[in-house]
Structure 1
C-alpha cells in the first residue's frame, strides 16, 4: 500500500487509495480487482466493504482515532453516521482512559 500511495503521489493523487485519476473507483471495479488478485494469490475473496470496516476498526483500536477524524476519513456526511456504524468499537475506550488517569489526579 505504501508503494501504491507513493506512485499515486507522483501523479498528484492524494485523496483516495483506490483511484487512478483522482476520483474514487466505482464499487464494481474494486470488486473485480479483488476477485482477480484473490485468485492469483489463492486466497478467499472478501468484499471491499470488509476492507473498509477493517481499516476503520484498525484506526479506532490501534490509534483511538476520534469520531470526527474517522468520519471525515471514511467520507461520511456527519459523525452521527460514523457512530451508527462503528460506535461499538469505542466501548472499551472508557476503561483504558480510566487506567491512564489512575495516579494522575
Structure 2
C-alpha cells in the first residue's frame, strides 16, 4: 500500500512539474511588440515569459528546483547556446517549452545573467 501511494505521489509530482515547466497559456497580450528600442523592455518581457513558462522548474529566483540553477547561466552559455537548449531541450527539460520571439527574449535575458 505504501509503495502504491508513493508511486502515485511521485507520478503526480512529475506531471505537475512538467506542466509547470511547459505549461502556461500562450498569452498574446504580453509585451510582444512593445519593444521601443530599449533593453529594459526586452529584459522585462524576457523575465515575464521566464516567470510564466520556466520558473516552475528553475525557480522564480533562478536558483533551481527540478531544473538547474540559472543565476549565472550567461557566464556558461551564449544567447545562441540558450536558444539551442530552448529549441532542443536538455536533460529532463523538454524541447520547445518557449519558442519564437518569446525564446529570443528569454535567451537574451538569461544570457545577461553572469
TM-score > 0.5, shorter chain as reference: no
Structure with higher helix content: 1
Of structures 1 and 2, the larger Rg is shown by: 1
Q: TM-score, normalised by structure 2?
A: 0.28
